[in-house]
Amino acid sequence: MWTINASKNTVLFSEYVTSSKPGYPSIDGYYEFCVPPGKYFIETDMPPTSYLTAGEPNVGDVPDIYNYIDHENGLNTTPTFDLQSGDHLCNINNGFYCYGSIQLRIWLDYNFNGIYDEDEEVLPDIPVTLYNMQYQAVSLRYSDFNGICIFDQLKNGDYFVRLDIDPTMSFTIANVGNDNIDNDIDNSFGSGTSHVISVTECSRIDNIGAGLALLPLPLLWESVSVSKESSYNKLEWSVKSQTNVSHYIVLRNSGENTIWEELATIPAINRIVSSYSFDDYSTGNFLNVYYKIISVDIDGRKSVSKIVTLKGKSEQFSLNISPVPADEYIYIDLHGNDFDFTNKLWIDIYNTLGQKVKTIQSINQKSFQLPTSDLLKGLYKLVFVQNDQIISTKAFIISR
């Protein structure tokens, strides 16, 4: 028991080891304190190796059987009680339950047999989300360097897990053998999900596996280029292979906004043909024009080419970013004389999903430092915009 004195300092008042209630040999976990008037709270000191965790506080409408542990004054503590002379608090119950846990192993299934073999590589840093049967996310974890992901402190109930993986990967075949070493990701609740995992009191479920495999690429990009002809822009691309490719989509961005305009769909003729072209006659009077190509295979999977730029004559500057890779900051240097700081200048930063994650408004100098501590590690694209036109883009990496 802790007391809060007149100086508002917390002082240990007394300790009590729970035992049987006097006169009631079958009632265990009993404790009592005799105290002078003042402010107090109870802390229950559980062994560090215990699998017990506090239950929900103040549930129901019968205070005599409440669990009073609400962690108000720290882990496993009760609220503060202001005791007056003659007060008797005989219902301060501290309820604990034995929690369950779920453990996954995530590995790269080289032979695609759905079984974890000892010589196969485990995969760290794979995001895994645990859901309850109301499709509510309970917790997000990442696999460690051993490919292990653990969800603990779980109440009794049914759950399932969902893995978010790179689009170049897929899940291997599920439920093919020994449950301790096979793949349990069978898409029961959507892509990348497991079957129902039932957790009971004190259960330790450590046989959930997630086997991943590398997808064969529908094609390998060899080159993409754009050139200015007399009355049109010529876009050309070639590939080293094109397995199961259905068609190509040509897209253009004029720099006036962030929306890519779909210009044409070009059928993939056969595997032998490796070079394609498209003539863009609707170029307009844009300062810069950006193109990219998306290949779509017969299963709907997509691959995006690099972005190529046809620059207007007035562009005479470059954008440099350092260091590479970066950590807490990046340093940006703008070179050239072809922009006016009196015009509206800003920077947008996008992640690999095309989502804008950061905007820096009112750029007014050529060299400056940009904090990146709020960005997760990974690849990003920095887009420099002037007068609502994309002037330059640059990729950079955050590595911690």
> How does DSSP classify residue 64?
G
Angle formed at CA 28 by CA 26 and CA 33, multiple of 5 degrees: 130
Whether residue 95 has pLDDT greater than 70: yes
Q: Same domain for 22 and 94?
A: yes
Q: Same domain for 302 and 336?
A: no
Beta bridge partners of 380: 351, 396
pLDDT of residue 28: 84
- pLDDT, tens digit (0-9, with 9 covering 90-100), for 297-346: 877 778 888 889 887 654 456 778 999 889 999 999 887 655 555 557 78
**Sole residue written with tokens 């129902």:** 196
Q: Poorest-confidence range of 51-55, 212-216, 229-233?
A: 212-216
- Within 10 Å of residue 188's Cβ, how many Cβ atoms? 12
- pLDDT, tens digit (0-9, with 9 covering 90-100), for 353-385: 888 999 988 787 888 899 999 999 988 998 888
Whether residue 135 has pLDDT greater than 60: yes
**CB-based contacts of 260: which residues, under 8 Å, 6+ apart?**
251, 252, 253, 292
* For range 249-273, the mean pLDDT: 80
Domain CATH for 114: 2.60.40.10
Identify the residue with better confidence: 379 or 49.
Answer: 379
Question: To the nearest whole percent, how much of the chain has pLDDT over 90?
Answer: 46
pLDDT of residue 217: 56
Q: Same domain for 136 and 151?
A: yes
Whether the bond into 267 is cis, omega within 30 of 0: no
Residue 8 region by backbone torsions, left for phi larger than 0, else alpha for psi between -120 and 50, else beta? left
Question: To the nearest whole percent, how much of the chain has pLDDT over 70?
Answer: 91
Q: Same domain for 333 and 372?
A: yes
* For range 13-28, the mean pLDDT: 86
Instruction: State the pLDDT confidence band at 148, using cuts at 50, 70 and 90.
Output: very high
Q: Look at residues 57, 76, 98 and tell me which one is the last residue of a structural domain.
A: 98
pLDDT of residue 272: 53
- Render 22-46 in DSSP notation, one character per residue: TTBTT--SB------SEEEE-B---
* 252-277: b (≥16 Cβ within 10 Å) or e: bbbbeeeebeeeeebebeeeeeeebe
Can you tell me the distance from the alpha carbon of 75 to that of 53, in angstroms, rounded to the nearest whole number? 10
Whether residue 218 has pLDDT greater than 80: no
pLDDT of residue 106: 96
**Sole residue written with tokens 């691309």:** 237
Q: Same domain for 15 and 120?
A: no
pLDDT of residue 129: 96
**Can you give the residue range of the structural domain that contains 235?**
219-311
Q: Same domain for 77 and 4?
A: yes
- Within 10 Å of residue 6's Cβ, how many Cβ atoms? 7
Instruction: Tokens for 173, please give them.
Output: 């075949």
Identify the residue with better confidence: 294 or 25.
Answer: 294
Angle formed at CA 81 by CA 77 and CA 84, multiple of 5 degrees: 155
Q: Same domain for 237 and 301?
A: yes
Q: Look at residues 83, 98, 113 and tell me which one is the last residue of a structural domain.
A: 98
Cα dist. 143→30, 102, 163, 313, 337 in Å? 41, 13, 10, 50, 49
Strand pairing report for 127-132 and 157-163: antiparallel
pLDDT of residue 144: 94
Q: Same domain for 356 and 294?
A: no
**Average pLDDT in the chain:** 86
Can you tell me the distance from the alpha carbon of 305 to that of 303, in angstroms, rounded to the nearest whole number? 7
* For range 214-219, the mean pLDDT: 66
Q: Same domain for 380 and 307?
A: no
* For range 93-103, the mean pLDDT: 90
pLDDT of residue 315: 47
Instruction: Tokens for 104, please give them.
Output: 């996954």
Q: Same domain for 307 and 329?
A: no
pLDDT of residue 254: 77
Instruction: State the pLDDT confidence band at 143, using cuts at 50, 70 and 90.
Output: very high
**Predicted TM-score (pTM) of this structure:** 0.46
286 neighbors 254 (Cβ within 8 angstroms): yes
Whether residue 220 has pLDDT greater than 80: no
Can you tell me the distance from the alpha carbon of 57 to that of 93, in angstroms, rounded to the nearest whole number? 10
Helices and strands (H and E) in the chain: how many: 0, 29
Q: Look at residues 64, 98, 132 and tell me which one is the last residue of a structural domain.
A: 98
Helix (H, G, I), strand (E, B) or coil at 246: strand
Can you tell me the distance from the alpha carbon of 199 to that of 138, in angstroms, rounded to the nearest whole number? 14
Can you tell me the distance from the alpha carbon of 42 to that of 292, in angstroms, rounded to the nearest whole number? 65
Whether residue 94 has pLDDT greater than 80: yes
Helix (H, G, I), strand (E, B) or coil at 65: helix
Whether residue 230 has pLDDT greater than 90: no
- Render 92-107 in DSSP notation, one character per residue: ----EEE-EEEEEEEE
Q: Same domain for 78 and 8?
A: yes
Q: Same domain for 194 and 298?
A: no
pLDDT of residue 149: 96
Instruction: Tokens for 148, please give them.
Output: 């292990």
Per the structure, how many domains does the chain have?
A: 4
- pLDDT, tens digit (0-9, with 9 covering 90-100), for 52-92: 888 889 888 888 888 999 999 998 999 999 999 999 888 89
Identify the residue with better confidence: 227 or 284.
Answer: 227
Strand pairing report for 157-163 and 148-154: unpaired
Whether residue 276 has pLDDT greater than 80: yes
